[in-house]
Structure 1
């Protein structure tokens, strides 16, 4: 099967945000300070590893569909939907909120392209399902770091 321009473009959007999530996760990892530092530091590595794996799987899917993935820094920085991560040290509570937001935005990107991808290539949609499942799990786990016990469990903190 050869991907249409639409399918290739939709998978590229996902790839771009996954690469950016990986880079921002490392930025957060290197500049984290505060209470529960070690736990969140290790959790950020888990997020980075997942984002890298999912990005690699997405890029390889693009290639298997006879299209070209683009992971160059200029492409990623100009095409990502994620907000730029703040510079400098960030306390654990703020980091948890910042990373949860970026995980959720990456999931939104995937959900935004899902139906078009599924219509043309259900196999690629399966890859998107895997990414959504993993990233939503990670968002829940990170958000639990800052969610008070009195919070509604039907919506993430701050929604």
Structure 2
């Protein structure tokens, strides 16, 4: 075990990998930002799920609940991927808040269409960040993380699509 690795990772957590330490550090850092963003997007989606109102309440409430569950399901897989590589992952809400790039929404009321559009933009942001992380994984030969990200990109694009279509409906005068 190299000195650099023992400085960053407890020997008890030093998972063996064939990737160079520099690759582990870069990929782990990238995945940890995605993980922080997944938690932030999960909480925001749940917030909007709990506070949505209006004529499409039932449909939006169910859609946002489904989406928040899907986002939350990515968190364990991202964290475990970091550990499989030999990195360490998030340990606290404070660490999440330091790393997240998805902005919180603490408004007391957000109109339904604005909720949907904000979540759509956040999901687009997530997909773009996942693509960047995928490129990093490709550069370092990490096909395991790249494959996981491909699945998550597809799921994120699906959420973006649904939010886009639902927000178009909300913005129209059609029944």
Alignment of 1:2-151 (within 5 A): 4-120=24-140, 121-147=142-168
> Contact 1:100–1:139 (CA<8 Å) still a contact in 2?
yes
Ranges in structure 1 where 5+ consecutive residues have no aligned partner: 149-159
Structure 1 residue matching 2:166: 3-state secondary structure? coil
Q: Using the TM superposition, give the Cα deviation of residue 55 of structure 1 relative to its aligned residue in structure 2, in angstroms.
A: 1.2
Computing the radius of gyration from Cα coordinates, the structure with the larger value is: 2
What is the deviation of 1:50?
Answer: 0.9
Asked whether the 8 Å contact 2:39–2:75 carries over to 1, the reply is yes
> How far does residue 110 in structure 1 lie from its aligned partner after superposition?
1.0
Question: Any idea what SS the aligned residue of 1:62 has?
Answer: helix
* Greater per-residue helix proportion: 2
Whole-Å Cα distance in 2 between the matches of residues 124 and 113 of structure 1?
9
Aligned residues: 148
TM-score (ref. length: structure 1):
0.86
In the alignment, is the contact (CA less than 8 A) between 2:41 and 2:71 conserved in 1?
A: yes
> Conserved in 2, the CA contact under 8 Å of 1:16 and 1:71?
no
- Is the Cα contact below 8 Å between 2:46 and 2:68 reproduced in 1? yes
TM superposition outliers: structure 1 runs of 4+ over 2 Å:
none
**Deviation of 1:87 (Å):** 1.8
The offset of 1:68, in angstroms, is 1.2
Does the 8 Å CA contact 2:46/2:65 hold for their aligned counterparts?
yes
Deviation at 1:85, TM superposition (A): 1.4
1:18-59 Cα offsets, whole Å, 9 max, x none, are: 111111111111111112011111111111111111111111
RMSD (CA atoms): 1.5
User: What is the distance in 2 between the residues matched to 1:89 and 1:41?
Assistant: 15
